[in-house]
Amino acid sequence: MKKGFLATLMISAGIIACQPAPQAAKEEHKNTFSKATTQKTSKKSSKEKEFLKALGAQDKWQKACSNPVQVAPEGVDVTKFIEEMKATIKYPADGKLVGDWKKGESLALLPKEYKALYGRKGGSKKGNCYACHCGDPRIIACGNIGPSLRGYGKKGIDPKMTYDRIYNPWAQVPCSTMFRFGYHGLLSPEEIADIVAYLHDPESPINK
């Protein structure tokens, strides 16, 4: 018992990992810090510039959500916001909105979750659904930020609704904490269709 706790304590890695080593310091000459300093400074400032570019990549909808309330857009018309978000949604070329649930499962689970369940490689960092949702009862380390997805396929929800909600949650709930997977290209249309199958298929562990 005691050992178990210690082990989990030591191996448990949150969604936030520790930082990679910054560029290892260049060879060091005693008494000549000024030289080393200018070298490193120019290097670092390019990293700073890159970070600022990334911070500057805010789109107008994110901007509208950047207020103290956070989950309601400010200074824009909500109906228009939703329409604009809907217009971003793209569908798979073959028009199939329900794909392969097994592939969907591998996208929804982290590699370590997949390995724990099936003992083989699989999983992905892209979906990370269990950070916020519970669903497959075998996955106990699940978040409670979104509603449980347990039995989701039995609710009679239109798969297209599910597809849209994953592609761009902000087309249904502006400024939701669930991020816009398809809009940002985190998941492709085909991958989203696979996740839709994972949520809807009666054979999926979500509904079993």
Partner 1 sequence: MKKGIFASLLGGALFLVNAEAPTPEQLKILKEMGVSPADVIVEEGRDYYHNLKGTTGKTCASCHGQDGANLVGAYAKMPRYYTDIGKVADVDLRVKACLEKYVGVNAKGKKGRKYIVPLAGYVATLSNGMPINIELKHPEEKRLYEYGKELWYKRVGARDFSCAICHDVLAGKRIRLQKLGAPVRDKLYAHWPAYRISKDKLWTMEDRIRGCYKSFFLFNPEKGKFDFKENWVKKPPFYMEEIIALELYMKKAANGAKVEVPGLIR
Nearer to partner 1, 36 or 91 (CB): 36
Angle 109-110-116 from CA coordinates, rounded to 5°: 85
Among 106, 81, 76, which residue's Cα sits nearest to residue 197? 106
The footprint of partner 1 on residues 98-157 (CB under 8 A) is 125, 130-132, 141-145
Per CB under 8 A, contacts with partner 1 among 59-98 are 62-63, 65-68, 70-71
- Summarize as ranges the residues that interact with ligand HEC (CB under 6 A): 14, 16, 108, 127-129, 131-133, 145-147, 149, 162, 165-166, 169, 173, 176-178, 181, 195, 199
Task: State the first-to-last Cα distance of the chain, in angstroms, to the nearest integer.
Answer: 31
Contact letters for partner 1, residues 2-31 (x by CB under 8 A): x-xxx-xxx-xxxxxxxxxxxxxx--x-xx
The long-range contacts involving 107-115, CB below 8 angstroms and separated by at least 24 positions, are: 107/187, 107/191, 107/194, 107/195, 107/198, 108/135, 108/195, 108/198, 109/139, 113/139, 113/141
Token pair in block for residue 33: 């810090």
The tokens for 92 are: 């798979």
Residues forming the site for partner 1 (CB under 8 A): 1-2, 4-6, 8-10, 12-25, 28, 30-31, 33, 36-37, 40, 44, 47-48, 50-58, 62-63, 65-68, 70-71, 125, 130-132, 141-145, 170, 175, 177, 179-180, 184-186
